[in-house]
Structure formats: C-alpha cells, structure tokens
C-alpha cells in the first residue's frame, strides 16, 4: 500500500473503539433480568443493530435523492456504502434475534410479521448491492441504483410498523418515549450501546466512502491507460541490410 | 403535462401490446407455466381438499407475483440500445414512455391474473363468496406489479446480467401487494373490514407511480 492510500486511525475511529469498550462494560455490568436470564443481554446488540439498519437504509434513501438532484458521485458513494453497512447490521440483527428467540421462545424462527418483513428488507438491499456490482460504469451505476435506493424505503415502512399493524409474537417497539418500561441501569446500558454502535457506523461509513473514492480513482486511471490496439502484433519489416550480400 | 402525453403513452402501450401479440410470449409461455405451477402445488402438499381450499388464495397470488415477474422480463419488453435511442430521439416524453409501458404490462398481468384465478377456483375448490372484491384487488395487483416491473426493467436494462436481476429486484418489493391481496380475501372470509388492505395496496401503487414519474427522466439519460 502506498503512502497516499495508507492512513492512520482518525479521531472518530478511536472514539468508536472507546465507545464500544464502554458499552460492553455497561452491558456486562447491567443487572440480570430474572425472567430471561443472560439471554436478555442480547438486547444490547439486537436493538442497536436494527436501529442502525434503519438508519443506514434511511441514509441510502436520502443520499440517493441527493445524487439525483446534485449529480455528484460522492452522494452515490455514501448511498452504496451505507447500504452495505445496512445489510451487515440487518444480518447481525436477524442472527442476534434468532439466538434470543431460541432462548426465550424456544425456536430460532417464527413466522412473525416483524421477522419475516425484516428478512425481506434484507433481500431488497441485497438486490441493490447486486445491481451495483453488475454495472461497471460509475455514472450509470449511480443513477440506476439511486432509483432503487429510493424504492427501498417502501419496504422500510411496513417493517417498522409491523408490530403495530399485526398482533405479533415480537414485542412492540422498544423505545416509546411516553411509556418506558425498563429499569434505569438496563435503559442506560441500552442507550450506551445504541450510541456506541452509531459511532461505529459513522466510522465505518467514513472509511467505506473513502474506499469508494479510491476505487473511482482507480477506475478512471485504468480507463485512461491506453489499451492494446488491433494490429499491435504486426511489426514493420526490417530495412537497411535486406539487400546485403553475404 | 403536455397535450402529447396521453397520445404518446397510448402509442407506446399499443406498440408493446402489438409486439406481444406477434410473439405470444405471455399467452403461450407465461400463462401455461403459471397454470402448471398451480397444478404442481397440490401434488407436493397432498390433495386434501380442506388444505387446498385454505391455501388456494395464497397460492394464487404467489403464482401471480412470481410468474408475473416473467411478464416484466418478456423478450418483447426488452429494448435494444438502438430502439431506446430511437424513442429518445423521437422526443417521446420519458414519463409517457413509463406510463405506456406500465399500462401494457398491467393489461397483460390482469389477463394473467384472471386466467390463473379461473384455473385456481376449480383446482383448489375456492369459495366464490365475496369475490366481488377481486374487481378491486386484481387491477391494483396488476398495476403495482407492472409499475415495479417497468421500473426494474429500466434500472436493469442494457447490461448483461440485467434480465437476471429483475426477479431479485421486483419480488421483495412486491410483498406489500401480495400481503394486501391475500389479507383482503382473508378479511372477507372472516367478515372483518378489508378496506384498510385495499388502501395499503392503493398507497403502494401511488408511491410506485410517483417514483416512476420522478425517475423516468434520469433513467432515460443514463442510456
């Protein structure tokens, strides 16, 4: 790696690491929930990851609109990078939820509206990432994936409201400002966890956008390099000594 | 909206339907394929009539959704770069083009739904009580799927993996339509209010139409 592309950890990276350590300490020291045992601690991963999945896809939506309005590729880099992180966080949220479900409901999966719609939302954004990989030209990729980035929000709304629209096994939304039913230390650990994960998202997004910009530079450089031309293999006959006598 | 909008949209729709009439892809491939799928399900899950009548409506709309995607990626719906350039150079409004292509696909999908319904009712022993609501559910499903198909077709056109990507793009996004259609029928069966599901479908159709209109021009410019 050259000096131009190597970088030292930024302040944000360091803050993210410190925040994760702090959140971990909060989570492990929070009181045990008698009814669920240590499985309840999965809450400190599950809630922040699903919140970040929403945030990441909302950022993709907004950055997609910004790209279509402004036409600057930086917005496309933000949209694509955020969708990648959203897919990772959604996957972690689903796996975390399954582990918690096994401990609490005694099943890894149940055909609950929230679970099913979240899994479908994951596939919407896997399709978005597949589309991005299929288009090599940056401008074409940006414009077309921006449309899909906007369409993806259609799916986000039923996912969020599914626990209200249907009587489901999944509990209703954890954060209800007017009706917080959580002990103080557990709430503090959960909020610390949400804050830490959000900082991690910001740090990862920043790094991924930077990487996308480097990829664009590499793409432009590769396109600028003159490729082989038809007839390159044909060489001119040597002249000068062709008529020399032995 | 200019005076030329609807004539242009209708001309595009007529062109697509003419191409379909000549190729017969939906009539001779997609419809028989969907009918075979409806025939295969009872063989897989068992021919218990109670079970079949309970899952029949759901299976009907799953087949409509999955095989309806094939209507969007039908050969006659995929344009070559030269055809697309010709449409753009003729000064066709991109929004009119979106509307025209959606209308043609919606009509084909509606025919597909009606035929699949006609196959599913006797095969699965579906109860026809309250099926008047289908006059609202089927056009909304067809229109929503057509909008999604047209949008995804435009997004995924002109690169090699494009047609292969369309089912992955359309199917998850069509879930609200599938839920709306099946829940309406469930609500009829249990005498609950079914208007809210129709409203959900109408909202999805409207949102897709807005996205299609807003993004028609940027998508045309990337060709």
In chain A the domains, ranked by start, together with CATH numbers, are 11-224 (1.20.120)
Confirm if B68 and B166 have CB atoms less than 8 A apart: no
Task: For residue A23, give the nearest of A39, A47, A50 by alpha carbon.
Answer: A47
Write the Ramachandran bin of A120: left for phi over 0, alpha for psi from -120 to 50, otherwise beta. alpha
| Interface contact B159-A151, CB threshold 8 A | no
Strand pairing partners for A33? A37
Count of domains for chain B: 1
Contact criterion met (CB < 8 Å) for A143 and B219: yes
Average pLDDT over residues B167-175: 87
Per-residue pLDDT of A8-47, as tens digits, reads: 788 888 998 999 898 888 888 877 776 667 777 888 888 9
How many CB pairs (< 8 A) connect A and B?
Answer: 70
Question: pLDDT tens digit string along B103-126?
Answer: 999 999 999 999 999 999 999 988
Backbone angles phi, psi at A37, to 5 degrees: 70, -155
Mean pLDDT value across residues B134-162: 86
Closest CB to B207 among A121, A123, A154: A154
As a whole number, mean pLDDT of residues B21-25 equals: 89
How many C-beta neighbours within 10 Å does residue A162 have? 18
Check residues B142 and A33 and name the one with the higher pLDDT: B142
Distance CA A211, CA B102 (A): 39
How distant is the Cα of B206 from the closest Cα of chain A, in angstroms? 11
Kindly indicate the confidence band of residue B184, based on its pLDDT and cuts at 50, 70 and 90: confident
B9 has a pLDDT exceeding 90: yes
Of chain B, the percentage scoring pLDDT greater than 90 comes to: 38
**Could you give the 3-state DSSP secondary structure of residue B58?**
helix
- Distance from CA of residue A211 to its chain's centroid? 14
Helix axes A184-224, A73-104, angle to 10 degrees: 140
Q: Tens-of-pLDDT digits for all 246 residues of chain A?
A: 555 556 778 888 899 899 989 888 888 887 777 666 777 788 888 899 999 999 999 999 999 999 999 989 999 999 999 999 999 999 999 998 888 888 888 888 888 888 888 898 999 999 999 999 988 889 989 999 999 999 888 777 777 777 776 666 666 655 565 666 667 777 888 899 999 999 999 999 999 999 999 999 988 888 877 666 666 666 777 666 554 444
| Partner residue opposite A134 with nearest CB, options B165, B215, B222 | B165
Dihedral sign computed on CA atoms, order B93, B94, B95, B99: positive
- Name which of B64, B202, B214, B121 is nearest A64 in CA terms: B214
- Residue A246 has a pLDDT of 45
B3, pLDDT greater than 70: yes
Alpha helices in chain A (DSSP H): 11-29, 43-70, 73-104, 113-134, 138-151, 153-165, 184-224
The CA-based diameter of chain B, rounded to the nearest angstrom, is: 58
- Predicted ipTM? 0.78
CB under 8 Å to A211, separation ≥6 — which residues? A81
Which residues fall within 8 angstroms of residue B176, CB to CB, at 6 or more apart? A154, A155, A158, B200, B201, B204
Which member of B155, B162, B171 has the closest CB to residue A147?
B155
Which residues of B are less than 8 Å from A61 in CB distance? none
Range of the domain at B23: 5-221
**Residue B222 C-alpha, separation from nearest chain A C-alpha, in angstroms:** 6
**B215, A121: Cβ pair inside 8 Å?**
no
Task: Answer whether B161 touches A (CB < 8 Å).
Answer: yes
Tokens of B57: 């409506």
Task: Determine contact: A218 vs chain B, CB below 8 A.
Answer: no
Is residue B102 within a helix (H) or strand (E), and if so which, with residue range? Answer: helix B94-124
Contact B50, B127 (CB under 8 A): no
What pLDDT is stored for residue A230 in this prediction?
A: 63
Instruction: Look up tokens 């803050």; give the residue.
Output: A15
DSSP B29: I
Chain A: residue nearest B153 by CA? A144
């Amino acid at each position: 790696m050259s000096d131009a592309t190597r970088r030292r950890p930024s302040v944000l990276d360091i803050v993210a690491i410190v925040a994760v350590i702090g959140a971990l300490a909060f989570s492990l020291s929070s009181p045990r929930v008698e009814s669920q045992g240590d499985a309840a601690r999965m809450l400190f991963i599950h809630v922040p990851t699903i919140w970040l999945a929403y945030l990441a896809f909302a950022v993709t939506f907004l950055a997609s609109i910004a790209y279509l309005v402004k036409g600057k590729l930086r917005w496309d880099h933000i949209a694509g990078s955020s969708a990648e992180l959203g897919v990772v966080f959604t996957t972690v949220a689903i796996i975390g939820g399954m582990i918690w479900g096994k401990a609490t409901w005694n099943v890894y999966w149940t055909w609950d509206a929230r679970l099913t719609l979240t899994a479908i939302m994951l596939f919407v954004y896997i399709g978005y990432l597949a589309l991005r990989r299929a288009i090599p030209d940056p401008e074409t990729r940006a414009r077309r994936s921006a449309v899909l980035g906007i369409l993806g929000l259609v799916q986000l709304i039923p996912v969020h409201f599914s626990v209200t629209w249907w009587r489901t096994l999944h509990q209703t939304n954890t954060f209800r400002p007017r009706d917080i039913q959580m002990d103080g230390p557990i709430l503090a650990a959960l909020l610390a966890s949400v804050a830490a994960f959000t900082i991690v998202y910001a740090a990862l997004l920043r790094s991924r956008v930077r990487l996308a910009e480097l990829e664009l530079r590499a793409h432009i450089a590769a396109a600028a390099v003159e490729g082989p031309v038809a007839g390159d293999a044909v060489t001119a006959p040597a002249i000068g000594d062709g008529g020399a006598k032995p | 909206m200019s005076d030329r909008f609807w004539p242009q949209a209708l001309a595009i729709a007529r062109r697509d339907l003419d191409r379909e009439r000549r190729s017969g892809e939906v009539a001779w491939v997609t419809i028989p394929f969907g009918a075979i799928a409806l025939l295969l399900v009872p063989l897989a899950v068992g021919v218990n009539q109670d079970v079949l009548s309970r899952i029949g409506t759901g299976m009907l709309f799953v087949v409509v959704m999955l095989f309806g995607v094939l209507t969007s990626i039908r050969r006659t719906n995929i344009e070559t770069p030269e055809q697309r350039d010709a449409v753009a150079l003729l000064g066709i409004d991109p929004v009119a083009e979106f509307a025209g292509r959606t209308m043609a696909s919606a009509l084909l999908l509606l025919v597909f739904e009606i035929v699949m319904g006609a196959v599913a009712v006797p095969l699965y022993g579906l109860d026809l009580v309250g099926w008047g609501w289908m006059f609202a559910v089927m056009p909304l499903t067809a229109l929503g799927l057509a909008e999604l198909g047209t949008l995804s077709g435009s997004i995924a056109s002109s690169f090699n993996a494009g047609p292969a990507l369309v089912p992955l793009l359309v199917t998850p996004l069509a879930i609200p339509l599938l839920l709306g259609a099946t829940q309406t029928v469930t609500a009829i069966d249990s005498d609950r209010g079914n208007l809210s599901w129709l409203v959900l479908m109408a909202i999805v159709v409207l949102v897709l139409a807005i996205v299609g209109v807003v993004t028609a021009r940027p998508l045309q410019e990337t060709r």
